[in-house]
Chain A
Amino acid sequence: MANLKNVTKKSKAQSMGMHTEVLTGRTQQKFFDPDEAENFYYFGTYDVDFNKRTNLDVKDMNAAEANKEIDKLMSEGYGTIVIKNPQGKHSLGVGILNKLNLIFEGSLGYFGMGSCDGPIVRINGRVGWSCAENLMAGKVVIEKNAGSCFGAAIRGGDLICKGSVGARTGIDMKGGTIIIGGDAGAFTGFMMQRGRIIILGNVGINLGDSMYDGTIFVGGEIGSYGSDAVDSELTESDQDWLRRKLKVAEIGENFDVSKMKKIVAGKKLWNYDNLEPTEKKGAI
């Protein structure tokens, strides 16, 4: 980690390795003071042991009951929880704010894993609309397909779908990375503000419509570009990053990233430069 006291304000964000954009908005950059570390711990979070494993069958539970049971297991120190029979229920696994190894043996409905910060999640099925909305940090891997609004407004973390996704993937996202192994629908990256989206397959109409910032990489065909979305040069640095990211994500490791298209915002619409909370935590 770079010593933030010794780098210029302009390059602090890049020095932290969080993103490559130079943040030059009009507002004042504020950086995390290590003395405030305690302010970054949430109430109601737990120190769990990944080696302490248990199963939870939610077949006969509603979402609230299942989520309370997950919370109870975390409070008992379980760090690896396997959820049986999720059967497409909505809002499972929401609001988990600590490290956790969570495995769903089946599919989730709407709003699965919403507003989480830190868990590592594997879903061995598909997910409905708005999976991992507002994800702050952590990793969510979906083995099959995903519905629309995948990764809406995420601020950090990695969100990986090995199948295809619906419309408006990454809408309003403010950080983090979304990786799609298959195809993506219309309005992918709609109004995205930061972060990166990688689509190995084809993508629908209005890609990156009204995007403020951030980057979209597409391996297949593009239905059409949205307003203000334009092509950009795919650099060697981009390709290195893509290879690393796909390898870590265990998806498309042999994919020829040199032929990918890079899409960015054509106009500079944004006016922000503060780090996201996740990025601030990275400075600890």
Chain B
Amino acid sequence: MCGIAGLIHRGRSSNVGSELQGMLQALKHRGEDSTGYALYGDTDGKNFIMRFKVGENVGEGSSSVVEDVSVYDERKKIVDETLIELGAKIIKEERTLPYSLRYEISYDKKDLLDFSQRIESIPGVEILSMGKSLEVIKDLGNAKAVCDRYSLDKLIGTHAIGHARMATESGVDIKSAHPFWGYPFSDVSVVHNGQLTNYWNNRRALENKGMRFMSECDSELIAVYIAQKMREGASLEEGMKESLTGLDGVFTYFVATKNSLGMAKDTMAAKPLVLYESDELVAMGSEEIAIRSVLPQEIETYDPFDGEVKVWQI
């Protein structure tokens, strides 16, 4: 089933970590195999924030293979060496969990394709997000469990999207969890509710164009598809509109960039979405109770229609 939620404050910052936690926790009945956050925090915009993993959460319910922590240490060491080779400088390092790390790095080049390919060529290493505002945090468990594990409730920012996952067509692991980073674009993330039926055709075509897939989760295709459209010169909104015909299946998805948040709904309108929109705030989720967690008062909400695409700026 899965549940998605997102919000964007327009013209101000707020405690988006705590707000998104409340929204996703309200949707936990839609799936709590894993939960993911894409948070756009207030930063000075100078350095990149790289969230990456050097292994999987192998806790109860995980479909991943157990590895020794020493393997994680070895992978981290290779990442550090590779960053030096790439000319990147680690400004700040946090190791939240043995397999999950957050680096603030100084890196001058704008094209992240070569950078990402080098880092991800290290076996077992995956960049969860790369950007000057975006941080993708995803792990097994419900929204509160993940929020507590990574201390996300104090994160201040302008917008955020998140996902409560019921695993159906791929494993219970972090690599299949949402949100997906719009590799190799800085600060682009995607969450999705639905199923894509032309996944393999699109994947093969995109791989032939040099794009990478880290999982076999069909939702990852949306992030890669939109990223490729933007690589070809399309705006976010144009890429999303093209996806309505380029992607086959049933879907509602959100895409966020450093300054914007967008939603798209397939032409069958088979997946739910409730939307609240005002001059100060846009909040949306698979069910109204997600919005109610941040706006308990009586509000005007509606379901976007089939084939609808909307994009909001901060």
Contact check, B289 vs A129: say whether CB atoms are below 8 A apart. no
Q: Which residue of A lies closest to B298 (CB)?
A: A106
Q: How far is the CA of A8 from the CA of B272 in the complex (A)?
A: 48
Q: With a 10 A CB-CB cut-off, give which of A88, A89, A144, A147 has the most chain B CB atoms.
A: A88
Answer whether residue B302 sits at the interface, using C-beta atoms and an 8 A cutoff.
Answer: yes
Any B CB within 8 A of the CB of A163: yes
Judging by beta carbons under 8 Å apart, are A204 and B305 in contact? yes
Asked whether, in the complex, the Cβ of B298 is within 8 Å of the Cβ of A125, the reply is yes
* Chain B residues positioned under 8 Å from A175 (CB to CB): none
Instruction: Judge if B89 is at the interface, Cβ distance under 8 Å.
Output: no
Whether the Cβ atoms of B301 and A145 lie closer than 8 Å is: yes
Give the residues in chain B near A148, CB-CB below 8 Å.
269, 272, 303
Q: Does B82 make an interface contact (CB < 8 A)?
A: no
In the bound complex, do residue A107 and residue B303 qualify as a contact, i.e. CB atoms below 8 Å apart? no
Residues of B within 8 A of A126 (CB): 288, 300-302
- From A89, A147, A165, A168, give the contact of B289 (CB < 8 A): A89
Give residues in B with beta carbon < 8 Å to A: 267-270, 272, 274, 287-289, 291-292, 296, 298, 300-303, 305-307
Residues of A within 8 Å of B305, CB to CB, are 166-167, 183, 185-186, 204
- In the complex formed, the residue of A with least CB distance to B299 is A107
B25 to chain A, nearest CB (A): 14
CA separation between A146 and B272, bound complex, in Å? Answer: 12
- Min CB distance B249 to A, Å, is 15
Smallest CB gap from A125: residue in B: B298
Main secondary structure of the interface of A (DSSP, over half): loop
A275 at the interface (CB under 8 A from B): no
With A107-B298, A148-B303 as given contacts, are A90 and B267 in contact (CB-CB < 8 Å)? no
Which residue on chain B has the smallest CB distance to residue A163? Answer: B302
Q: Which residues of A contact B289 (CB under 8 A)?
A: 87-90, 109
Count of residues in A whose CB is under 8 Å from the partner chain: 29
Say yes or no: is A4 at the interface (Cβ < 8 Å to chain B): no
Q: Measured between alpha carbons, how far is A167 from B132 in the docked complex, in Å?
A: 39
Q: How far is the CA of A129 from the CA of B273 in the complex (A)?
A: 10
**Minimum Cβ distance to chain A for residue B83 (Å):** 46
**Contact among A110, A146, A165 for B287, CB-based, below 8 A:** A110
User: A126-B302, A128-B288, A147-B274 in contact; A205/B267 too (CB < 8 A)?
Assistant: yes
B-contacting residues, A142-181, CB 8 Å:
144-148, 163-168
- Distance in angstroms from B269 CB to nearest chain A CB is 4
Q: Is the CB of B287 within 8 A of A128?
A: yes
Chain B residues within 8 Å of A128, by CB: 272, 274, 287-288
A164 to B302, CA, bound (A): 8
Given contacts A107-B298, A145-B303, A167-B306, contact A88 B287 (CB under 8 A): yes
Q: A88-B292, A107-B288 are in contact. Are A186 and B267 (CB under 8 A)?
A: yes
Q: B271: shortest Cβ distance to chain A, in Å?
A: 9
**Contact sample, A vs B, 27 pairs, CB 8 Å cutoff:** A87-B296, A88-B289, A88-B291, A90-B287, A107-B288, A107-B301, A109-B288, A125-B298, A126-B301, A126-B302, A128-B287, A129-B272, A144-B300, A144-B301, A145-B301, A147-B272, A163-B302, A165-B303, A166-B303, A167-B268, A167-B269, A185-B269, A185-B306, A186-B269, A204-B305, A204-B306, A205-B267
> In whole angstroms, how far apart are the Cα atoms of A202 and B280 in the complex?
29
A17 to B: closest C-beta gap in Å? 35
Give every chain A residue within 8 A of B288 (Cβ-Cβ): 88, 107, 109, 126, 128
